[in-house]
């Protein structure tokens, strides 16, 4: 039994010794490397366009060659001016017509305001006249109508009484005579007719008196009230209409003035843009035609040249300063967990194999800018970059330890 036990003990010792040796071997390995492809990017890079607001259709007259080294202030792009001058001439004529239209509108608005004053005064006079008429009726005319009716009845009654009394006197006088002459009979006949006429007029006066008091005067009073109410409604409607019309005309005039002001500013902007219709270099650098995407040139060469059409916002030149470079690359999700800010390594330009640059991870984004692509920027710590051109590629090897 001692042999099997001894054999088992020896086996365990051998296994433990082998495991320890493997661990020592791993700890002695060289650090792992992360290899990536990057592109040299200018820290100072400016995208240049015509950047005009009013002149949108442009034609290139002259443009510096792609890849030209330029100095600050140097002209990079110049544009043809013939079409632009035509645009400005058309805009100037349109502005002159608009100015004449505005003058006519201002005159019409001035006349409108004066007519408004006259219309308002007329409406106020009509309203005042209606109130005066109503006040006159309420204070004077209604009572005078009642008095007139009473006086008319009284006059008719007096006429009848006088005629009847005169007939009575004649009859009494002629009665004392036994014989009545023919002339006296005529006088009596006329007196009787006068009494009958007076009686008829008196009856009419009574009827008219009753109608005046019970119908005409109350009806006239109601009509006066209605007339005053209608006059007030008409006055308020007129004033409201005048106010609305004035507000509309004022707003319309303001819009015309603002539109003309905008047209003036647009013309002035076109004229100013015409005077500065060139693109100059804001700093030293290399002029690349078109736009760089994350430091990289387009897969297709630029076709910009003299005679090419351009828009106001089109990127025509990207000016990259080669004096200060950084390296931009992209990480996949697999590399994202291996690369961290602060990691160091080496970068070798593919166009200059003998050059080696010390680099350090400056940025490692954790939010993708595209599917499975994370932005990564490396700072160049040491090395000669004079011969490196922005937009060229390099191989980056970062070191990492377990």
More confident residue, 194 or 178: 194
> End-to-end alpha-carbon separation of the chain, Å?
46
Cα 388 from Cα 354, distance rounded (Å):
12
- Could you list the residue range(s) of the whole structural domain that residue 18 is in? 1-30
Looking at the fold, whether 290 and 324 belong to one and the same domain comes out as: yes
Looking at the fold, whether 64 and 7 belong to one and the same domain comes out as: no
Looking at the fold, whether 141 and 234 belong to one and the same domain comes out as: yes
- Measured in degrees and rounded to the nearest 5, phi and psi for residue 2 equal -70, -35
59-82 pLDDT tens trace: 898 999 999 999 999 999 998 888
The percent of residues above 90 in pLDDT, for the chain, comes to: 50
Cα 136 from Cα 322, distance rounded (Å):
100
- When pLDDT is averaged across residues 207-214 and rounded to a whole number, the result is 84
More confident residue, 267 or 55: 267
β-pair type (75-79, 285-289): unpaired
- Axis-axis angle for helices 217-275, 142-175 (nearest 10): 150
Cα 38 from Cα 357, distance rounded (Å):
13
The top-scoring range by mean pLDDT among 82-91, 124-133, 134-143, 159-168 is: 124-133
Cα 290 from Cα 299, distance rounded (Å):
12
In 191-300, beta strands by DSSP E: 278-280, 285-289
Compute how many other C-beta atoms are within 10 angstroms of the C-beta atom of residue 399: 13
- When pLDDT is averaged across residues 186-198 and rounded to a whole number, the result is 82
Which pLDDT score is estimated for 185? 74
Looking at the fold, whether 240 and 331 belong to one and the same domain comes out as: no
Q: What is the mean pLDDT of the chain?
A: 85
Cα 163 from Cα 156, distance rounded (Å):
11
Looking at the fold, whether 4 and 59 belong to one and the same domain comes out as: no
Looking at the fold, whether 258 and 119 belong to one and the same domain comes out as: yes
Select from 255, 273, 291 the last residue of a domain.
273
Looking at the fold, whether 254 and 108 belong to one and the same domain comes out as: yes
Which pLDDT score is estimated for 281? 95
331-369 pLDDT tens trace: 999 898 899 999 999 999 998 878 889 999 999 999 999
Looking at the fold, whether 193 and 317 belong to one and the same domain comes out as: no
Q: How many C-alpha atoms does 222 have within 13 Å on its Cβ side?
A: 6
Looking at the fold, whether 55 and 90 belong to one and the same domain comes out as: no
Q: In the predicted model, is pLDDT for residue 250 greater than 90? A: yes
- Domain count within the chain: 3
Select from 210, 238, 273 the last residue of a domain.
273
Which pLDDT score is estimated for 144? 85
CATH code, 107: 1.10.287
Longest dimension (CA), the chain: 204
Q: In the predicted model, is pLDDT for residue 384 greater than 60? A: yes
More confident residue, 319 or 188: 319
What dihedral do alpha carbons 366, 370, 373, 378 form, nearest 10°? -70
Q: Are 384 and 364 in contact (CB under 8 A)?
A: no
Which pLDDT score is estimated for 179? 47
Which pLDDT score is estimated for 12? 43
CA nearest to 99, candidates 267, 275, 271: 267
Looking at the fold, whether 128 and 141 belong to one and the same domain comes out as: yes
CATH code, 59: 2.40.30.170
Looking at the fold, whether 108 and 250 belong to one and the same domain comes out as: yes
Looking at the fold, whether 120 and 138 belong to one and the same domain comes out as: yes
Of 183-192, 238-247, 323-332, the range with the lowest mean pLDDT is 183-192
Select from 273, 295, 328 the last residue of a domain.
273
- When pLDDT is averaged across residues 198-225 and rounded to a whole number, the result is 86
Which pLDDT score is estimated for 129? 93
- When pLDDT is averaged across residues 183-201 and rounded to a whole number, the result is 81
More confident residue, 98 or 141: 98
């Amino acid at each position: 039994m001692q042999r099997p036990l001894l054999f088992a003990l020896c086996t365990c010792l051998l296994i433990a010794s082998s495991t320890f040796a493997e661990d020592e071997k791993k700890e002695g390995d060289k650090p792992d490397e992360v290899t990536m492809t990057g592109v040299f990017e200018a820290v100072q890079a400016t995208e240049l366009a015509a950047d005009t607001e009013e002149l949108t259709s442009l034609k290139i007259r002259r443009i510096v060659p792609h890849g030209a080294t330029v100095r600050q202030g140097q002209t990079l792009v110049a544009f043809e001016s013939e079409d632009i001058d035509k645009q400005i001439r058309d805009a100037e004529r349109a502005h002159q017509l608009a100015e004449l239209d505005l003058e006519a509108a201002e005159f019409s608005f001035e006349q409108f305001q004066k007519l408004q004053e006259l219309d308002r005064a007329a409406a106020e006079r009509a309203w005042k006249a209606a109130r005066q008429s109503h006040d006159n009726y309420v204070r004077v005319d209604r009572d005078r109508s009642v008095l007139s009716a009473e006086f008319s009845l009284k006059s008719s009654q007096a006429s009848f009484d006088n005629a009847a009394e005169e007939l009575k006197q004649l009859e009494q006088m002629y009665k004392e005579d036994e014989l009545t002459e023919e002339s006296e009979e005529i006088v009596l006949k006329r007196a009787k007719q006068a009494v009958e006429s007076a009686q008829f007029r008196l009856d009419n006066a009574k009827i008219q008196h009753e109608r005046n008091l019970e119908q005409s005067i109350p009806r006239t009073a109601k009509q006066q009230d209605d007339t005053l109410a209608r006059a007030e409604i008409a006055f308020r409607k007129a004033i409201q209409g005048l106010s609305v019309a004035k507000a509309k005309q004022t707003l319309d005039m303001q819009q015309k003035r603002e539109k003309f002001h905008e047209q003036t500013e647009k013309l002035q902007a076109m004229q100013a843009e015409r005077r500065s219709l060139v693109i100059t270099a804001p700093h030293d650098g290399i002029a690349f035609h078109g736009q760089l995407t994350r430091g990289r040139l387009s897969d297709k060469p630029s076709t910009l040249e003299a005679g090419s059409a351009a828009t106001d916002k089109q990127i025509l030149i990207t000016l990259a300063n080669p004096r200060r470079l950084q390296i931009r690359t992209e990480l996949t999700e697999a590399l994202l967990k291996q690369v961290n800010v602060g990691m160091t390594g080496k970068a070798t330009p593919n166009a200059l194999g003998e050059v080696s640059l010390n680099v350090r991870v400056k940025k490692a984004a954790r939010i993708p800018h595209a599917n499975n692509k994370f932005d990564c920027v490396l700072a160049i710590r040491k090395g000669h970059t004079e011969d490196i051109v922005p937009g060229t590629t390099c191989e980056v090897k970062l070191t990492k330890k377990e």
